[in-house]
Homo-oligomer: A and B are copies of this chain.
Amino acid sequence: MEKKAINFKEKFSKFSEHWSPRVVAEMNDYQFKLAKIKNEFVWHNHQDTDEVFIVIEGAMDIEFRDGKVHLEAGEMFVIPKGVEHKPFAEHECKIMFVEPRGTKNTGDVESELTAEDDVWV
């Protein structure tokens, strides 16, 4: 029986909202999520977990209180637990991120950008 791969391009074609993470896979108690991002997100942190960003298409920056990192397609970065950060993308950027199931996109910060959790695509 042929099983079906998870195809990022196909998944991205199914939603257009920015900063609205969609779960595509679970591994143990972790989730792999895709998002389209553009402009500034809010400063926030995740007290209980590291967070991985992988850029699939485009480019983004992640600002920290003590610097920043620039990420292009084919690059990743691990944001350590508890470290305040603010993602930013000048043009639309397509990313994958990995974090434990139940992690909120804005961490402990309540914002109009706080997204519903556990939405699959």
Contact = CB atoms under 8 A, between A and B. Distances in A.
Chain A contact surface mostly:
strand
B5 A75 contact: yes
A14 interface: no
A5 to B, nearest CB: 4
Nearest to A77: B5
Interface string A62-101: 0010111111101111100100000000000000001110
A25 B97 CA distance: 13
By Cβ-Cβ distance, the 7 closest A-B pairs, closest first, are A1-B67, A5-B75, A3-B69, A27-B50, A8-B74, A6-B76, A27-B52
Interface of A: 1-9, 24-28, 30, 32, 49-52, 56, 64, 66-72, 74-78, 81, 98-100
